[in-house]
Amino acid sequence: MLQVGKENLMAKSYFVTNGPMPTTASPASVTTGTAIKTLLQLKPAANFPISIVEWGISFDSTTAATPGNVCLIDTLTVYSTVTAFAVSDIMPFKDPYAPANTAGVSGVPLNLGTTASGYTASTEGTVAGSRLLDCFLISPTGQFFHQFPLGERPEVIPGNFLRVRATFAAAVNALAYIVFEV
């Protein structure tokens, strides 16, 4: 493959949100909480490490209040129990002809399932080790996105879990997304 530095020019990019692929309705927001909650979780398939291009989140509160703690983390081998993505929820981004994600817990480029890739955690799991990739205090009336520069994109290896997690003083609805490359 043709490469420049560490960036693979033949890489395929994908877009995921904290909900199903929007079709006849707008993307669904997910409520945060007063305890830490995973809004979006990705598990790369074997032999498919992912590189994070960009991620973001927005909130729908109408009242400015204490900012929430919002983080992008690699939780090593600990997962949240989530609503599993369907194949169509992993959307090709830059190249509309990128291969579709395959189904199931052995799907590629992401493993799909309630203990793999999905959204809206019902159980957090006990995190014993993690790697913090990004973390910010964000107003419940605000929004945030971070695009990583070429050559400085964090990567998540197969077997680990990439998670967008949030904690607020009072629950607020959120839309989160991740753009990644394989």
Q: Which amino acid is at 9?
A: L
**pTM, entire model:** 0.92
- The confidence score (pLDDT) of residue 111 equals 97
For the cut 60, the answer to whether the pLDDT of residue 3 exceeds it is no
| Residue 44 to residue 50: CA distance in whole angstroms | 6
- The confidence score (pLDDT) of residue 126 equals 86
The predicted-structure confidence for 69-119, as pLDDT tens digits, reads as follows: 999 999 988 899 999 999 999 999 999 999 999 999 999 999 999 999 999
Asked if residue 155 lies in contact with residue 40, where contact means CB atoms within 8 angstroms, the answer is: no
The predicted-structure confidence for 21-70, as pLDDT tens digits, reads as follows: 988 888 889 999 899 999 999 999 999 999 999 999 999 999 989 999 99
SS3 171: coil
Assign 162 a pLDDT band (cuts: 50, 70, 90): very high
What are the Cα distances from residue 98, in Å, to 93, 102, 181?
Answer: 8, 12, 11
Calculate the dihedral angle through the C-alpha atoms of 123, 131, 7, 181, rounding to the nearest 10 degrees. Answer: 0
- The confidence score (pLDDT) of residue 2 equals 40
- Segment 118-137 shows an average pLDDT of 92
Asked if residue 36 lies in contact with residue 164, where contact means CB atoms within 8 angstroms, the answer is: no
Q: Which amino acid is at 114?
A: T
